[in-house]
């Protein structure tokens, strides 16, 4: 990773075979893995990674929301060039932008991620001002993206035109991260694993808007609900919901998909 004078970080991510589906297209978790890694390493370079914060202040970072727009799918052996930067606080959130560019230099995806800074001693969120003095924020106008990404459509509030079978993932040892809960990328893997396989074969993501609502732990029993809300031409809108077995909503997502080119 290298960082310019505006504190914008850059790095290259190679698409491995294990990052792809059966057609060698980069799978959705690849992008969320890359976003997590970019944000984590950039924070570490500034001395405010999760491990630094927990050790020195008993604070931690928690991701609450990501809205990503995809322009094309990268494939096996592609190198995706990523860039990321932090923005000024928005409400109780610390926004971070991540963009990826494909091998031809065109924009592959762009995402707004919203993070919360948590005080573990007092068990409450902190205001972004508590940390902003330790982050150099980019001054250039092109390094700003509106953090107001609206509200997510809740699974229980929308009418489905088709419901897919419920999926029952099991949290494993390797799903747990430094915060001692299920890592945010695991929810993305569960979400796509619950989707109809034929649909995945024929469609690619266009917009993925996800919200982490509550923590999930190793011993939790969870299930994933998925349903189609709209279909028009080559586009399909889908809602996703992950719940604990007592019905508590842990994660919600709205996704838009389009037919793959023939």
CA–CA gap between residue 190 and residue 194 (Å, rounded): 6
The 8 Å CB, 24+ separation contacts for 126-130 are: 126/59, 127/89, 127/92, 128/88, 128/89, 128/90, 128/92, 128/93, 128/94, 129/89
Taking residue 189's Cβ as centre, other Cβ atoms within 10 Å add up to 17
Q: Is residue 146 part of a domain?
A: no
Chain mean position to CA 204? 17
Q: For residue 158, is pLDDT > 90?
A: yes
Same-domain check for residues 199 and 99: no
Q: How confident is the model at residue 261 (pLDDT cuts 50, 70, 90)?
A: confident
Q: Give the structural domain span for 240.
A: 155-259
Same-domain check for residues 123 and 177: no
Same-domain check for residues 127 and 219: no
Q: Is residue 143 part of a domain?
A: no
Share of the chain above pLDDT 70, in %: 100
Question: Domain boundary residue among 81, 97, 132?
Answer: 132
Give the pLDDT mean for 232-252. 97
Q: What is the C-alpha radius of gyration for the chain, rounded to an integer number of angstroms?
A: 18
Structure tokens at 51: 């491990």
Q: Is residue 141 part of a domain?
A: no
CA–CA gap between residue 7 and residue 136 (Å, rounded): 6
CA–CA gap between residue 246 and residue 201 (Å, rounded): 33
pTM comes to 0.95
Q: Label the pairing between strands 249-259 and 203-212.
A: antiparallel
Same-domain check for residues 122 and 30: yes
CATH number of 102's domain: 3.10.129.10
C-alpha pair distances (Å), 253 with each of 12, 179, 181:
28, 22, 19
Same-domain check for residues 96 and 186: no
Share of the chain above pLDDT 90, in %: 93
Q: Into how many domains does the chain fold?
A: 2
- Give the chain's mean pLDDT: 95
For the stretch 106-128, pLDDT in tens is 999 999 999 999 999 998 999 99
């Amino acid at each position: 990773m290298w960082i310019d004078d505006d504190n914008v970080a850059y790095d290259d991510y190679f698409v491995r075979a294990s990052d792809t589906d059966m057609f060698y297209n980069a799978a959705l978790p690849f992008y969320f893995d890359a976003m997590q890694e970019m944000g984590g390493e950039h924070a570490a370079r500034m001395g405010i990674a999760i491990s630094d914060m927990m050790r020195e202040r008993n604070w931690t970072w928690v991701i609450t929301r990501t809205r990503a727009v995809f322009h094309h799918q990268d494939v096996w052996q592609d190198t995706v060039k990523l860039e990321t930067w932090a923005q000024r606080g928005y409400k109780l959130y610390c926004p971070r932008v991540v963009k990826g560019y494909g091998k031809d230099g065109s924009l592959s995806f762009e995402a707004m991620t919203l993070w919360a800074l948590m005080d573990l001693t007092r068990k409450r969120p902190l205001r972004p001002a508590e940390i902003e003095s330790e982050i150099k924020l980019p001054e250039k106008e092109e390094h700003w993206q509106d953090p107001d990404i609206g509200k997510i459509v809740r699974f229980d509030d929308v009418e489905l035109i088709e419901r897919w079978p419920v999926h029952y993932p099991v949290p494993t040892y390797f799903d747990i991260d430094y915060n001692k809960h299920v890592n945010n990328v695991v929810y993305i893997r569960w979400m796509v694993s619950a989707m109809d396989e034929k649909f995945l074969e024929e469609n690619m993501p266009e917009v993925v808007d996800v919200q982490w609502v509550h923590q999930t732990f190793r011993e939790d029993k969870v299930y994933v609900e998925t349903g189609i809300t709209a279909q028009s031409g080559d586009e399909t809108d889908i809602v996703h919901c992950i719940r604990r077995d007592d019905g508590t909503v842990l994660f919600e997502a709205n996704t838009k998909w389009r037919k793959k080119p023939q």
